[in-house]
Amino acid sequence: MHTPEGQTTRRLGDVATAGAAGIASVGAGVASAHLLASVLAPAGSPLIAVGGTFIDLTPAWLKEFAISTFGTADKAVLLGGIAATLLLVAALCGLLARRSRAAGCAAVALVALVGAVAALSRPASSAIDAVPSLVGAVVAAAVLGWLTRPAPPALTPVPGGGARGAAPTRRSVLVGSLAVAGGAVAVAALGSAIGGRLRDVTAARASVRLPAPSEPATALADAVDVRIDGVTPFRVPNDDFYRVDTALVVPAIDPSGWRLDIGGMVQRPYSLSYDELLAMPLVERDLTLTCVSNEVGGPYVGNALWLGVRLSDLLARAGVDRAADQLFSRSTDGWTASTPMGAVTDGRDALVAVAMNGEPLPAEHGFPARMIVPGLYGFVSATKWLVSLEATTYAQREAYWTERGWATDAPVRTMARIEVPRPLSTVAPGAIAIAGVCWAQHRGIERVEVQVDDEPWVAARLGAAPSIDTWRQWWIPWYATSGRHVLRVRATDATGEVQPQARLTPFPSGAQGWHEVVVNVG
């Protein structure tokens, strides 16, 4: 006779067994799909496809929360959340299979099919992108069917007792589930390894020989760097340069097969290969980029030395219709940006860049080519992994973030950031520096002022700048006295406009406000 406690324990064991079977089945399906996607269609990997679709559907407030909370780890957090949700749903599918094996198998197949639907919804998708998830759905249903297979109608006795062909025991299901799960991990790892090798553009980048620029950058004066520990260098190294984009997997583009299409409202549409682009006159410039998601005092800004072809040269060759007021650019993964045509034809150093700080663009920053338009936030000017430029009008086309309510024109706001001393840090009394960086691309910085507590504003010393399209470093000496102090900074651009104190959030056209930090002296 079974006690109530024994029945409860058995029931919990059955539930755990069913959940494990569901998780193992869906895991096998996802792993199989990931392996197939690694060699067939990287964008068709279920987690990547679902994650990309989630990003597309994310409202502005949630996007800003993710970036401000998790920073550049936001993509890893997203994928982790999707994986956790998938595990829960998979376990529920296994529980469903306890009641109806057919329903459970159908449920895990449906879960896997979500990846196919997501893959087909991506901007640059094709039918082949759905194949990995379709195969994964079949694998998931087959594995769950095997783990939950029923007993045959009649059992055949065997010597020594027992019967051949009995239904799987709880232990055998758990062992089978663990074996399948282990195999799924191995298959997924294999897929990642294969995909990583296939997507590795290191050799392609290493083979690129960058031509000498026809217009070299202005030599930097020693005074561009204030040389104070903790202040970001004038040129940010490639490995330290901020990255904000919607790509869950960095596109791997072989430059030998890459082309840039230029068309739309033009007289002479044409296409360029990578070698043809490099053969054009190249301009080398220091330019500062800023992400619209950058909060006051935030990290998503940086300066680098860029090499590229002027956008105005590319458009002049095509012969742009005067009615075109927008340059619509597209990335290889389907992401789009809308840039005011006037901003790329007014003489500023708007480029299709091919190099960053003296080397071919890193894959994370757009290899083989990307756009840079100084003075505008990146979401309307800095398309990475660039594959097409289309002259059009704002009335005809809306870009990725414009469709989601962000600004159409997005000039960078004047901003200054305190980097030394760090917020909430404790410093010793005595003479120290207050220092940081400031920017107002394509207007330039005229003055920076610092306020300590409620004392009068004091003008800071400015580092040199090669042009109005770069940021500047600044600093002031400060004799720190014991106690808690609030430090504030504000900048004035070269037009005479003072950085406003009133705070604005990044949505829809960039953050605004004075940066202030609290420090303790003692």
Domains, the chain, ranges and CATH? 4-151+169-199 (no CATH), 223-404 (3.90.420.10), 415-521 (2.60.40.650)
The pLDDT of residue 372:
98
Sequence-distant (6+) residues with CB within 8 A of 82 are 47, 50, 51, 54
The C-alpha torsion from 221 through 226 and 227 to 230, rounded to 10°, is -140
Task: List phi, psi (to 5°) of 516.
Answer: -135, 145
Answer whether 0.85 is exceeded by the pTM.
no
- Cα angle 276, 197, 307 (rounded to 5 degrees) comes to 30
The pLDDT of residue 178:
59
Give 338: exposed, middle or buried? Use CB within 10 Å, 0-12, 13-18, 19+: buried
Beta bridge partners of 34: none
Q: How far is Cα 433 from Cα 415, in angstroms, rounded to an integer?
A: 19
100, two tokens? 């109806």
The pLDDT of residue 155:
47
Estimate the crossing angle of helix 4-40 against helix 101-121, to 10 degrees.
Answer: 30
Given a contact cutoff of 8 angstroms between Cβ atoms, the answer to whether 28 and 140 are in contact is yes
The pLDDT of residue 302:
98
pLDDT in tens, the chain (522 residues): 455 555 555 666 677 888 888 888 888 888 888 888 887 777 778 888 888 888 888 887 787 788 778 877 888 888 888 888 888 888 898 889 888 989 988 888 888 788 889 888 887 778 888 898 898 888 888 888 888 876 555 444 545 444 444 455 555 555 555 555 566 566 556 656 655 554 568 888 999 999 999 999 989 999 999 999 999 999 999 999 999 998 888 898 999 999 999 999 999 999 999 999 999 999 999 999 999 999 999 999 999 999 999 999 999 999 999 999 999 999 998 999 999 999 999 999 999 999 999 999 999 999 999 999 999 999 999 999 999 999 999 999 999 999 999 999 899 999 999 999 999 999 999 999 999 999 999 999 999 999 999 999 999 999 999 999 999 999 999 999 999 999 999 999 999 999 999 999 999 999 999 999 999 999
